[in-house]
Amino acid sequence: MHKLLMKSVDITEKNIENIAQLFPNVITETKDDRGKVERAIDFDLLRQELSSNLVEGDKERYQLNWPGKKEAIINANTPIDKTLRPVKEESEDWDNTGNLYIEGDNLEVLKLLQESYLNKVKCIYIDPPYNTGNDFIYKDNFKGSVDEYLEESGQADEGGNRMFHNTDSSGRFHSNWMTMMYSRLKIARNLLRDDGVIFISIDDGEVSNLKKICEEIFGVQNMLGVFIWKSRQIVDSRNKTGLSNDHEYVIIVSRNIEKFKLRGKMIDLSKYSNPDKDPRGAWMSNSILGLANSSQRPNLHYPIYDPETNRMFNCPEDSGWRYSKETMKQKINEGRIIFPTKDNGRPREKKYLSELNSKFTGFSSILTEDVGFTLNGSREVRALFEGKYFDFPKPVSLVMNILQQGCDKDSIVLDFFSGSATTAHAVMRLNAQDGGDRKYIMVQLPEETDVKSEAYRAGYMNICEIGKERIRRAAKKVKEETESEFDCGFRVFKLDTSNMKDVYYSPDKLGQTEMDDLISNIKKDRTGDDLLAQVMLECGLELSLHMETRQIEGKEVLYVANNSLIACFDENVSESTIEEIAKAQPLRVVFRDSCFEDDSARINVEEKFKMLSPNTEIKVL
425 within 8 A of 452, measured Cβ to Cβ: no
Residue 150 one-letter amino acid: L
pLDDT band for 228, please (50, 70, 90 cuts).
very high
Q: Cα dihedral sign for 5, 117, 98, 470?
A: positive
Least confident of 22-36, 55-69, 145-159, 291-305: 145-159
Residue 547 CA to residue 604 CA, distance in Å, equals: 28
* pTM for the whole structure: 0.85
Q: For residues 3-18, give the mean pLDDT.
A: 87
Q: For residues 346-371, give the mean pLDDT.
A: 91
For residue 481, which of 493, 489, 473, 491 has the smallest C-alpha distance? 473
In SS3 terms, 360-423 reads as EECCCCEECHHHCCHHHHHHHHHHHHCCCCCCCCCCHHHHHHHHHHHCCCCCEEEECCCCCCHH
Q: Is the pLDDT of residue 473 over 50?
A: yes
Residue 461 CA to residue 476 CA, distance in Å, equals: 23
315 within 8 A of 298, measured Cβ to Cβ: no
523 within 8 A of 503, measured Cβ to Cβ: no
pLDDT band for 167, please (50, 70, 90 cuts).
very low
SS3 at position 592: coil
Q: What is the pLDDT of residue 234?
A: 86
pLDDT tens-digit map of 189-207:
999 999 999 999 999 999 9
Alpha helices in 127-260 (DSSP H): 146-152, 173-191, 207-218
- Kindly state the DSSP code that residue 168 receives in the 8-state scheme: I
Residue 376 CA to residue 393 CA, distance in Å, equals: 9
Q: What is the pLDDT of residue 164?
A: 38
Q: For residues 287-305, give the mean pLDDT.
A: 95
- Kindly state the DSSP code that residue 171 receives in the 8-state scheme: I
Helix (H) or strand (E) holding 249: strand 247-254
Kindly provide the residue ranges of all beta strands, DSSP E only, lying in 42-149, ordered along the sequence.
82-86, 100-103, 121-126
Residue 200 CA to residue 50 CA, distance in Å, equals: 33
Residue 529 CA to residue 354 CA, distance in Å, equals: 55
Residue 48 CA to residue 92 CA, distance in Å, equals: 56
Q: What is the pLDDT of residue 508?
A: 66
Higher pLDDT, 139 or 575: 575
Higher pLDDT, 603 or 133: 603
CATH code at 82-265+363-495: 3.40.50.150
pLDDT tens-digit map of 603-616:
889 999 999 999 99
320 within 8 A of 326, measured Cβ to Cβ: no
Higher pLDDT, 164 or 46: 46
Residue 10 CA to residue 139 CA, distance in Å, equals: 22
Percentage of the chain beyond pLDDT 90 is 66
For residue 423, which of 411, 88, 113, 120 has the smallest C-alpha distance? 411
**What is the 3-state composition of the chain as percent helix, strand, coil, each rounded to the nearest 5?**
35, 20, 45
Q: For residues 353-373, give the mean pLDDT.
A: 90
Residue 565 CA to residue 540 CA, distance in Å, equals: 11
526 within 8 A of 499, measured Cβ to Cβ: yes
pLDDT band for 467, please (50, 70, 90 cuts).
very high
299 within 8 A of 324, measured Cβ to Cβ: yes
Q: What is the pLDDT of residue 136?
A: 55
Q: Is the pLDDT of residue 288 over 50?
A: yes
pLDDT tens-digit map of 319-338:
999 999 999 999 999 999 99
pLDDT band for 373, please (50, 70, 90 cuts).
very high
Least confident of 59-68, 539-548, 572-581, 601-610: 59-68
pLDDT tens-digit map of 390-438:
888 999 999 999 999 999 999 999 999 999 999 999 999 999 999 999 9
For residue 100, which of 533, 536, 493 has the smallest C-alpha distance? 493
Residue 117 CA to residue 100 CA, distance in Å, equals: 12
pLDDT band for 156, please (50, 70, 90 cuts).
very low
**What is the maximal distance between C-alpha atoms in the chain?**
108
Least confident of 26-35, 108-117, 141-150: 141-150
Q: What is the pLDDT of residue 410?
A: 96
Alpha helices in 448-587 (DSSP H): 454-457, 463-482, 502-505, 528-539, 575-583
224 within 8 A of 123, measured Cβ to Cβ: no
Residue 9 CA to residue 78 CA, distance in Å, equals: 8
Residue 90 CA to residue 527 CA, distance in Å, equals: 17
Higher pLDDT, 557 or 21: 557
Q: What is the pLDDT of residue 468?
A: 98
Question: 492: which strand partners?
Answer: 101
pLDDT band for 601, please (50, 70, 90 cuts).
confident
Angle between helices 575-583 and 599-612 (to 10 degrees): 30
Q: What is the pLDDT of residue 552?
A: 95
Residue 607 CA to residue 314 CA, distance in Å, equals: 90
Residue 535 one-letter amino acid: V
Least confident of 37-51, 225-239, 518-532, 583-597: 37-51
The residues of the chain that CATH labels 3.40.50.150 are 82-265+363-495
Average pLDDT over the chain reads: 89
Q: Is the pLDDT of residue 59 over 70?
A: no
Q: What is the pLDDT of residue 124?
A: 98
For residue 589, which of 599, 580, 576 has the smallest C-alpha distance? 580
Helix (H) or strand (E) holding 192: strand 192-202
Residue 284 one-letter amino acid: M
Q: What is the pLDDT of residue 237?
A: 79
547 within 8 A of 559, measured Cβ to Cβ: yes
Residue 333 one-letter amino acid: N
SS3 at position 28: strand
323 within 8 A of 289, measured Cβ to Cβ: no
Residue 202 CA to residue 399 CA, distance in Å, equals: 14
pLDDT band for 5, please (50, 70, 90 cuts).
confident
What contacts 210, CB < 8 A, 6 or more positions away?
181, 200, 202, 251
Residue 586 CA to residue 331 CA, distance in Å, equals: 65
Residue 278 dihedral angles phi and psi, to the nearest 5°: -65, 130
Question: 438: which strand partners?
Answer: none
Q: What is the pLDDT of residue 139?
A: 55
pLDDT tens-digit map of 253-270:
999 999 999 999 888 899
pLDDT band for 379, please (50, 70, 90 cuts).
very high
SS3 at position 112: helix
pLDDT tens-digit map of 440-465:
999 999 999 999 999 999 999 999 99
Question: 321: which strand partners?
Answer: 289
pLDDT tens-digit map of 88-122:
999 999 999 999 999 999 999 999 999 999 999 99
